[in-house]
Structure 1
Amino acid sequence: MTREFTVSDSVVVNASARELYDAISDPTRMGTWSPENLGAHVTNPRETTYVGMEFDGRNKRGRAQWVTRSTVTVADPGKAFEFRVFAIGVKSPRIKGANATWRYDFETVPEGTRVTETWTDDRRKWPDAVSLVFDKIVTSGKTFPQFQRRNIAKTLDNLRKHYA
């Protein structure tokens, strides 16, 4: 089985690209849409999101809870927002290493804005067999691409409903 490193999906939302960018690029609000994220704490907040901004995200899956640390790598208002998860831990993000990149692209269309959410597995140094076993343990039998495909669909649907 060939390992899949990127999963993406899109939805059209009845809101402007800038309005959606402002909402999604605020990591403290991600828990509003995401089925796993509970929100975040921005380390050095400013009025708007900026490249290099770091934040700690709180997450849960079933009874498991963990914290991640991420850094914003793209902050292009109304066009794109991206961050990389580079540390993880149970109560604080102590274990450092490439984890994942999350990206949101915004395209104005006649019905509003097409929002595309993309997850990229940054665990490139992990052997395929190790990642497959790990993924199936922490996702109850799925690979991370399969699991994230479902999470992305739920996040985008929740976003669409929020602005309906």
Structure 2
Amino acid sequence: MSREFTVSDSVVVNADASELYDAISDPTKMGSWSPENLGAVVLEPRDSAYVGMTFDGRNKRGRAQWITRSTVTVADPGKAFEFRVHAIGVKTPRIKAANATWRYDFESIPGGTKVTETWTDDRRKWPDALAFVFDKIVTSGKTFPQFQRRNIAKTLANLQKHYA
């Protein structure tokens, strides 16, 4: 079985694209929607997201907690926001390695905004067998694509509920 490297889902949210972009592009607020993220600290804050902005995210899955370091790669207000996770650790993001890319696309449509969340596995250098074993250990028996599909669905549902 070959690895799946990208999963995404979409939902229509009753808010305009600019408002949703502003909320999602502020990593300190992600904990309001994500089932794993507890929020973040922006290392060099400004009024809004910008390409090159770096932040440390706090995450929790069951009893496990960890910190990730991410850098914003796309900051197009009202249209797209993307960041790459490139370091991870228990108390500080010490282990530097490609991890994942998260992207949010915003499309204005009648009735609100179609928000698409996409996760891409950036662990391209990992052998498939190692990735499958690691994934199943840290996700209680799932692959990361299976696990992230569920997380994306929960995040989007929480976002939609927040703006209902």
Structure 2 residue 29 is the aligned partner of structure 1 residue 26: no
**Cross-structure match for 2:117:** 117
Q: Distance in 1 between matches of 2:30 and 2:120?
A: 18
Q: Distance in 2 between matches of 1:3 and 1:100?
A: 14
**Cross-structure match for 1:50:** 50
Alignment of 1:5-154 (within 5 A): 5-154=5-154
Q: Distance in 2 between matches of 1:42 and 1:7?
A: 26
SS at match of 2:142: coil
Letter aligned with residue 109 of structure 2: V
Return the offset for 1:2.
Answer: 1.2
SS at match of 1:104: strand
SS at match of 1:8: strand
Give the RMSD, CA atoms, in angstroms: 0.2
Q: Which consecutive unaligned segments of at least 5 residues does structure 1 have?
A: none
CA-to-aligned-CA distance 1:68-122 (integer Å, 9 cap, x gap) = 0000000000000000000000000000000000000000000100000000000
Fraction of identical pairs, as percent: 85
TM-score w.r.t. length of structure 1: 1.00
**Runs of at least 4 residues of structure 1 off by over 6 A?**
none
Q: Distance in 2 between matches of 1:111 and 1:100?
A: 32
